[in-house]
Amino acid sequence: MIPFPRPGSPEYDALLHEVRFPDDGDAAETREWLDALATLVHVGGPQRARFVLHALQDEARRHALDWQPRRNSPYLNTITLHEQAPFPGNLEIEQRLAAIMRWNALAMVVRANARHGELGGHISSYASAADLFEVGFNHFFRARTRTGAHAAEASASQGGDLVFFQPHSAPGVYARAFLEGRLSEDDLAHYRQEVSAASARRDGGTVRGLSSYPHPWLMPDFWQFPTGSMGIGPLSAVYQARFMRYLQHRGLMAPNDRRVWGFFGDGEMDEPESLAGLSLAAREGLDNLVFVVNCNLQRLDGPVRGNGRIVDELETAFEGAGWFVIKLLWGSDWDGLFARDHTQALARAFARTVDGQFQTFSANDGAYNRERFFGQSPELAALVGAMTDHDIDRLHRGGHDLVKIHAAYAAAVAHTGKPVVILAKTMKGYGMGAAGQGRMTTHSQKKYDDDALKDFVRRFNLPMSDEAAEAQRFYRPADDSPEMRYLQTRRAALGGPLPERHHEAPALTVPAANDFAAFALMADGREMSTTMAFVRLLGSLLRLPELGPRVVPIVADEARTFGMASLFRQVGIYAPQGQCYEPEDASSLVAYREARDGQLLEEGINEAGALASWTAAATSYSTHGLPMLPFYIYYSMFGFQRVGDLIWAAADQRSRGFLIGATAGRTTLGGEGLQHQDGHSQLVATTVPNCVSYDPAFAYELAVIVEHGMQRMLRKQDDVFFYITTMNENHAQPSMPEGAASGIVRGAHRLPGGEPLAAPLAQVTLLGSGAILHEVLAAALLLAADWQVQSDCISVTSFCELAREGIDADRQALWGHRPDAPYITVLLAATAGPVLAATDYVRAVPEQLRAWVPAGRRYSTLGTDGFGRSDSRAQLREHFEVSRQHIVLAALQALVMDGSVPPDLPALARARYGLREGANPRVA
Ligand SMILES: Cc1ncc(C[n+]2csc(CCOP(=O)(O)OP(=O)(O)O)c2C)c(N)n1
């Protein structure tokens, strides 16, 4: 022990000062300032002290000192011991429960791997997150309450809290559901064996497979939020919290104190999406949002910030964005050390220790830590002088201390005005001993030898025999045991089990297309683009008394581009603060109007945020029992390509809504060039199983598709969403031909032909969709006038839907059924000649139909493979060889190959239309 001066003595103060400010050139002066501040706080109170500090800050700025307050606080708990809320639970029982969860989660992963050796799964992430989850489950996560079960702690939140779980910690959530009686032992034994479980069910079993990560698509009554792709969870959590406010401010949801909790990894925070929503959350004061970042300091390959401290970095980022930051770093057993640490040796030692080193400390035992951490200085050594190596080994990090975690959560939920982040320091692979704790390879550790299993059981005092441990038997205490009674009582008090996904929501009455789009059905030659038609149709939907308020128009700073500025005034732009300024265009009919109850979500230049908003609205039927109808309209290039992973997650989450890819097609957006011209979103849309995609050419087709989409999503409540591409090219819009609707919905309809040729040389069938259909129709005229070739024209509204029908029919045949011929086969059978399909997309889009073209009919496709470039629409169509003349050329070529016309016709056509061979657009 080194001798300390008596606390309070001048010698003591001098020593303390030297330790805290080793670089101080004038200690006496500094002390005067510090004393003055202390007096100010003491006499004037905290508010006065804050005022003076702000005044000093302003003054410093006036002197151009280039000074800003440090963002980082010392590497200590934000909540001091005396501020700590008392722990309301039974600590011992909760610790035992956490241990049981840990074991069952571990056994689940180890068993799955022992059985198949290839199934993967993670142990070490949940090992670090277990206590963080458990405190939430026992004290904070309120479930959606059922009628008659309004417990005191839950009653204020009928709708329940929304919890985003760290995805690879899913085994821990299953382990809890097992103890709660929601999953059986058999279910746990089928973790990551969903296909085997399904076949067992077909044989009469009741087992369910457990998905690797939270997937609502695969476990629709369990998981609410897909988080498996890093970064999607944090972004979605922000926008869920924001959408809850939107619903409240618009009067669609009663004010409530429901909360969104998001548990994320510190490595995950490196994803751009993870931090992308922070400013919005702070700007809109989302105090219904709590992030818990599990700072186990490791990701998959190694440390998150080996040479730095991720907690410091995140503290700066979150605080800078305007969040309230709670650092939860050290457990209760450190309290005594801090109390005795008169020289703040610990804080200084932490400040010198980088995360790579902290990881090494966590991977090693007490003796190592005594020597390498506490051995750094006599003061530190003295602090642990009376402790055994075992005691040092068991010094908890904050994220493994139920009492400290509870205090942090309690402070988070009590905080108002800002979103809160808890930076919880944990150990990756906590409790896995030499098999994994803090090891570089721990993320992928899924094999446990018998000794390691027995060690684990002993480490957590589980009442299991060695034999049970070696057999990786799941452990469930008796129903009347104190643990089980406690667990059930706590969940009952919080409203019931969680996570639990609901899907029951009232079906909405859907208007007929005639009620909101008569202008499109009976367009009678009026000029407009399909984008204009969409905007008009949306305006009508918004005016409908029942459905109107449920419509959520979403834009990412392109409302004016798409001619939607009138919506600013009509429904207002959502802004929780209302409008605190006089807009420059106040007197205009399309003034920029922000309002607290505004309906339009104007997300700014933020497609990811817009998509997250869309998902929140598109799943509101499930999360809130309140079906909404979102329409997110955007440049089609910045959808599937830019935020495709978010769309995939939205699909997993069973979203119901419309995505409108405007100005779609590679040749549609003339001058904008390579990065704007989309020739493939329709192809990618095809790959999303529950995305129903259409590429209509006519306003009436669009109207029919929107009605059909609403029928499926709002009335029938199918878990599908619609992707519709629209164009900005004006055309004389025809009225809808009699009986066309069902074909439009199925994916194609034959267009009424003109006068047939008296003596045609040959016949072709032309398919076209979207922007290029108009070129196809023009080509049909040229074929007739210039080449005596008769065309049948088919408008393909969805190559994807047609192909899906074909795929399903083929499969049925494989299983011995006798499916009807696919619709496209039947439709083409009624036409004649070779079939040629042209689109403004890559050829792979129309190529999808090849298998179902009637036997003996030639099938050719034209498309826009290759990079776009800027020029006029006409030049682009030349470049990609999809203009009307090129369609004629391709049709004649097909007829030549069929032997139906003289072989020199293509050359004559090239000459007649002045077509010259350029660079191959696919590679140019
Ligand atoms: C977008 C994406 N990239 C990569 C992965 C693969 N992956 C799963 S977990 C993981 C490491 C996660 O580390 P961290 O967020 O620190 O969580 P921890 O497991 O350490 O708690 C990685 C790289 C993924 N799931 N999603």
Q: What number does the ligand 1 atom closest to the CA of 443 have?
A: 19
303 alpha carbon – ligand 1 mean position (Å): 12
Is 220 a residue whose pLDDT tops 70? yes
Is 120 a residue whose pLDDT tops 80? no
Dig out the tokens for 716 from the structure.
């029938």
Q: Which of 123, 125, 173, 428 to mutate to test the pocket of ligand 1 (most atoms within 8 A of CB)?
A: 125
Q: CB within 6 Å of ligand 1 — which residues?
A: 125, 128, 166, 168, 228-231, 265-268, 294, 296, 298-300, 304, 428, 443
Dig out the tokens for 464 from the structure.
């299991």
Is 115 a residue whose pLDDT tops 90? no
Is 572 a residue whose pLDDT tops 90? yes
Q: Which of 123, 169, 268 to mutate to test the pocket of ligand 1 (most atoms within 8 A of CB)?
A: 268
Q: How many CB atoms neighbour CB 300 within 10 A?
A: 13
Task: Report the percent of the chain where pLDDT is more than 70.
Answer: 98
221 alpha carbon – ligand 1 mean position (Å): 25
Is 148 a residue whose pLDDT tops 50? no
Q: What number does the ligand 1 atom closest to the CA of 122 have?
A: 19
Task: Report the percent of the chain where pLDDT is more than 90.
Answer: 87
User: What local confidence, expressed as pLDDT, does residue 4 receive?
Assistant: 57
User: What local confidence, expressed as pLDDT, does residue 225 receive?
Assistant: 98
Asked if 638 and 259 count as a contact pair (C-beta separation under 8 A), the reply is no
Dig out the tokens for 760 from the structure.
């045609």
Tell me phi and psi for residue 15, to 5 degrees: -65, -45
Residues in the chain: 924
User: What local confidence, expressed as pLDDT, does residue 432 receive?
Assistant: 86
The pLDDT-based confidence of 154 (bands split at 50, 70, 90) is very low
Three-state SS letters, 54-100: HHHHHHHHHCCCCCCCCCCCCCCCCCCHHHCCCCCCCHHHHHHHHHH
CA distance 871 to 673: 7
CA distance 260 to 239: 10
Q: Give the CA distances from residue 78 to residues 404, 405, 419, 462, 478, in Å, rounded to whole numbers and listed in that order.
A: 11, 12, 16, 33, 39
For Cα atoms 98, 102, 107, give the angle at the middle one, nearest 5 degrees.
150
124 alpha carbon – ligand 1 mean position (Å): 12
Average pLDDT over residues 837-841: 97
688 alpha carbon – ligand 1 mean position (Å): 23
User: What local confidence, expressed as pLDDT, does residue 157 receive?
Assistant: 52
Higher-confidence residue of 19 and 212: namely: 212
User: What local confidence, expressed as pLDDT, does residue 150 receive?
Assistant: 40
The pLDDT-based confidence of 5 (bands split at 50, 70, 90) is low
Question: Ligand 1 atom 23: the closest Cα is on which residue?
Answer: 300
Q: Which helix (H) or strand (E) holds 151?
A: none
CA distance 852 to 821: 9
Q: Which of 126, 168, 428, 445 to mutate to test the pocket of ligand 1 (most atoms within 8 A of CB)?
A: 168
101 alpha carbon – ligand 1 mean position (Å): 21
Helix pair 10-20, 27-39: axis angle to 10 deg: 100
Three-state SS letters, 649-714: HHHHCCCCCEEEEECCECCCCHHHCCCCCECCHHHHHHCCCCEEEECCCCHHHHHHHHHHHHHHHH
Look at residues 615, 606, 656 and name the one whose alpha carbon lies nearest to residue 634.
606
Q: What number does the ligand 1 atom closest to the CA of 296 have?
A: 20
Q: Which of 123, 299, 423, 425 to mutate to test the pocket of ligand 1 (most atoms within 8 A of CB)?
A: 299
CA distance 98 to 133: 9
User: What local confidence, expressed as pLDDT, does residue 7 receive?
Assistant: 64
User: What local confidence, expressed as pLDDT, does residue 338 receive?
Assistant: 96
382 alpha carbon – ligand 1 mean position (Å): 39
User: What local confidence, expressed as pLDDT, does residue 1 receive?
Assistant: 42
CA distance 397 to 399: 6
268 alpha carbon – ligand 1 mean position (Å): 6
Q: Which of 133, 166, 227, 230 to mutate to test the pocket of ligand 1 (most atoms within 8 A of CB)?
A: 230
Is 155 a residue whose pLDDT tops 50? no
Residue written as token pair 């142990």: 123
Asked if 915 and 889 count as a contact pair (C-beta separation under 8 A), the reply is yes
Is 578 a residue whose pLDDT tops 80? yes
Question: Ligand 1 atom 12: the closest Cα is on which residue?
Answer: 299
